[in-house]
Amino acid sequence: MLFLVVLFLIKNRTVFQNSLNSVIGHQASGLVYDSSTTIEDLVNRDTDGDGIPDWEESLYGLDPTKKETTPGTPDSVAIEKLKAQQTAETNGQTSTGTEDTTNLTQTDKFSREFLATVSTLNQNGTLDDATVEKLSSSLADNIKNSAPRKVYTLADIKITNDSTQTIKKYSDVFESLAPKNPTKYTVLDVLQKFSADENNIDVSVLSELDPIIEQTNKIIAGMVKMEIPQSLAPLHLDVINGFERIAENLNDIKLYDTDVIAALSGMSKYNQNSTTLVSNITKLTDAITQKLKS
């Protein structure tokens, strides 16, 4: 079968879902939530019990699981210093009068949006149960539906005329892109070791995703360089973009320590993107087979 790489990118869907649920339910890394968690829950959560809500500690880059992110300096003191610094820097405004968010992580952006939304609703007196539920669902959707960072188009690939010869050559090159030495484990093997249960997270194992990411990027690069028969170009693009989504998901998952929102987004989208990739590869290989028979 073409593209054996799919076999080690994808495993059992149920196993993945169990692993994902375990990670989302894990509280020790601060600002983590799922679609059943309400805004009210997030407002009141204080993991380390220091009187500062988790969302505020995350907003200022502090560890919600420690009363002193920097040993010897209580987080409350650190936050006051950071607030004073922000005031001195004119609240972080750029020379154009707009806020510079270039270097913010997804977790930073989530925290800021969350703070602004809750503050506004509190001031207006409209933070009722119905609004809480709508905001909770909206923020969860933001995690699951962030836009892809790279989308390949027809302008990025080399298109040639259709002929039996060009299609056969395309098929041979396409087949050759499968990894010669695939890893002996899958993404889901790594995720299961990463989160054996909701109380045990091992971030160090995420480095095992590197060989899979490297192989995926090599496949993408190879597919961009190929000459593609015109009739196969749309299907070819779907497969390239499918692999690109997988690469982005895996790179995001590796950010768990520094950008938990991006990591959870990668985990939540990986399963669906894997399923879509398999479907796209099947459509392309079926089209190749059909054209070679005709």
What does the pLDDT read at residue 233? 96
Could you tell me the CA-to-CA distances from 135 to 16, 27, 53, 276 in Å, in that order? 27, 20, 18, 29
Strand, coil or helix: what is 8?
A: helix
Quick one: pLDDT band at residue 18, thresholds 50, 70, 90?
Answer: very low
CA distance 190 to 187: 5
Instruction: With 0.85 as the threshold, say if the pTM is over it.
Output: no
pLDDT of 29 > 60? The answer is no
In the chain, which ranges are continuous DSSP H helix? 5-9, 13-25, 39-44, 54-59, 75-88, 106-124, 129-144, 164-176, 187-194, 210-225, 233-253, 260-293
More confidently predicted of 49 and 13: 49
Q: How far apart are the C-alpha atoms of 31 and 11, rounded to whole Å?
A: 28
- Average pLDDT, rounded, for the chain: 75
Q: Where are the domains of the chain?
A: 5-27+150-293, 39-97+105-144
Q: Give the list of residues 6+ apart from residue 48 with CB closer than 8 angstroms, or none.
A: 57, 63, 64, 65, 66, 67, 75
Lowest mean pLDDT among 176-180, 210-214, 275-279: 176-180
State which H helix or E strand residue 198 sits in. Answer: none
With cut-offs at 50, 70 and 90, classify the pLDDT of residue 53. Answer: confident
Is the model more confident about 219 or about 197?
219
**Six token digits for residue 183:** 């890893």
Q: What is the pLDDT of residues 186-207, one digit of tens each?
A: 888 898 888 876 567 888 999 9
Which among 62-66, 81-85, 178-182, 231-235 has the top mean pLDDT? 231-235
Segment 137-167, tens digit of pLDDT:
666 666 566 677 899 999 999 999 999 999 9
Per-position b or e across 61-79, b if 16+ CB within 10 A of its CB: ebbbeeebbeeeeebeebb
With a cut of 70, say whether residue 90 has pLDDT above it.
no
Residues 6 or more apart whose CB falls under 8 angstroms from that of 150 comprise 244, 248
Q: What residues pair up with 200 in beta bridges, in sequence order? A: 197
Rounded-to-integer distance, Cα 157 and Cα 224, Å: 5
pLDDT on residue 96: 45
Answer yes or no: is pLDDT of 86 > 80. Answer: no
- Give yes or no for a contact between 167 and 291, defined as CB atoms under 8 angstroms apart: yes
Higher local confidence (pLDDT), 28 or 248:
248
Please give the pLDDT value at position 180.
74
Question: At a CB cut-off of 8 Å and minimum separation 6, what does 95 contact?
Answer: none
**Dihedral class, residue 183 (left if φ above 0, else alpha if ψ from -120 to 50, else beta):** beta
Q: Which of 5, 15, 24 is nearest to 268 (CA)?
A: 24
| 28 has a pLDDT exceeding 50 | no
Q: Is pLDDT above 70 for 85? A: yes
